Structure 1
Amino acid sequence: MNGLHEPTEYELRRQKKEEQREAQRKKLRSHKVKYWIVAALLIVGVAGLAALGLWFIAHRVVPEGPDDSVSYPIQGTEHIAEGSSHPPYNSNPPSSGWHYANPALVGFYDVSEKQPTDEQIIHDLEHGDIWIAYHTRIPEAARGDLKQFDSGKVIITPREANDTDIALVAWGRVDAFNLEGGVLDTQRIENFIKRYTNRGPERVGNDPHKDD
């Protein structure tokens, strides 16, 4: 005899059960690994969203100070032919209503330049742009300070029809005020721009700039 023997039926059943237990243990280990991978991904995802949320909170545009602007009823969005008459506007400067089909080019306009009309600029307001209308009587230094707000969404023009030194205009809103001691309130202007840019009924990207 060579000392080898055929496994008995009991040993075969025992071996089969051991193989089944080992397969079950491997399956459990695989499930645990998958669980921890999913858990790790969820933790990373939540942490990423939290970090993104904190970034937006830290970088969000939050105007400082009070809002001194006045809301005016919208007078419509009707296009009219250039030079044609129309009913009076309900604010000075106008903040909505009858306007020309072609908007004005945004940017800073000095007193020596040809000025766009109110009817042109209302179309810019419709696009969500901001209009800074300054009276020609303000000091040259104040006019120079206005240039810092020159952007693709802001048009800055001299306007003798103003009731005040400065009028900040968005679609349906006006903040009009005089200079104190000839000094421009740049924070007030910045706050208005932050609050009301892209609030028009037609949101578009930056409008063409006069110096482009």
Structure 2
Amino acid sequence: MMRKVKNYGIVLLVIGGISYGVYLFAQSVAPKGEDMSQSIPLLEATHIATDSPLGEYNSNPPTSGPHYGQTARSGFRSEPVSDQNIIHNLEHGDVWIAYHPRISEAMKEGLKQFAAAKVIITPREENETDIALVAWGRLDTFTIEGGVLPEQRIQDFITRYSNKGPERVPGASGGI
């Protein structure tokens, strides 16, 4: 009888230890800050030809809507990429970090740490602020204060919204 109680106790301790480890891991990868993004009403996600008129979007940068059939490669880019290519990436669950070209070279270097599969970083002259964090139906825009890149805010956005598009395509996006 005592042996059974001891075995049950050991099993409970092991289960408790594993549960606590899973809890700690979940806490370490969970977003740490407040979600500063806003939800943007979704537009119809239709593929359009590259020579088609573009129509209107309901956010700057756009978070959904008509887009080209070709995606853009993930990673850091120093040249602009068409919004309509990147909208297709967003549909696949990618996150887009659009930076205004006026930001400093140091800030651009700081953004490179976020370049990964499912994250595309591009300059965008049309931005109204220094940085726009964009996912399917989500947008967070801000101006860099005091020359400090808000790394945690950016990482939290990626953590929250990566792989949340209506078409989940694993791995890095191919494309232009």
TM superposition score normalised by structure 2? 0.88
- The partner residue of 1:150 within 101, 108, 115 is 115
Alignment of 1:5-84 (within 5 A): 40=7, 44=11, 47-60=13-26, 61-84=29-52
The one-letter amino acid paired with 2:21 is W
1:179-198 equivalences in 2 (<5 Å): 179-198=144-163
Secondary structure of 1:175's counterpart equals strand
Q: Which has the larger share of helix?
A: 1
Q: Equivalent residue for 1:91?
A: 59
C-alpha offsets along residues 27-76 of structure 1, whole Å, 9 cap, x if unaligned? xxxxx9xxx5xx958963x5554433322211112211211111110002
Determine the C-alpha separation between the residues in 1 that align with 2:94 and 2:86. 9
Residue 121 of structure 2 aligns to a residue whose secondary structure is strand
- Determine the structure 1 residue equivalent to 2:172: 207
What letter is aligned with 1:180? E
Report the residue type matching 1:165 in the other structure. D
Structure with the greater alpha carbon radius of gyration: 1
CA RMSD, aligned part only? 2.2
Q: Does 1:171 align with 2:136?
A: yes
**What is the distance in 1 between the residues matched to 2:104 and 2:90?**
26
Percent identity of paired positions between Structure 1 and Structure 2: 52
CA contact (8 A) 2:71 2:173 kept: no
Task: Letter of the 1:150 partner, please give it.
Answer: A
Structure 1 residue runs without a partner (length 5+): 1-31
Report how far residue 204 of structure 1 moved: 1.9
2:73 matched to 1:105?
yes
Q: Separation in 2 of the partners of 1:76 and 1:42?
A: 56
Contact 1:138/1:165 (8 A) holds in 2: yes
Number of aligned residues? 172
Give the partner amino acid of 1:157.
T
Cα distance in 2 between the residues matched to 1:107 and 1:78: 25
Aligned counterpart, 1:134: 99
For structure 2, the 5+ residue unaligned runs are none
Quick one: higher RCO (CA 8 Å, sep 6+), 1 or 2?
A: 2
Query: Kindly tell me: are residues 100 and 51 of structure 1, through their superposed partners in 2, closer, same or farther at Cα, counting changes over 3 Å?
Result: farther
Question: Which TM-score applies when normalising by structure 1?
Answer: 0.74
Deviation at 1:148?
Answer: 0.3
| 2:141 partner amino acid | A
**In 2: Cα distance, 1:41 partner to 1:81 partner:** 65
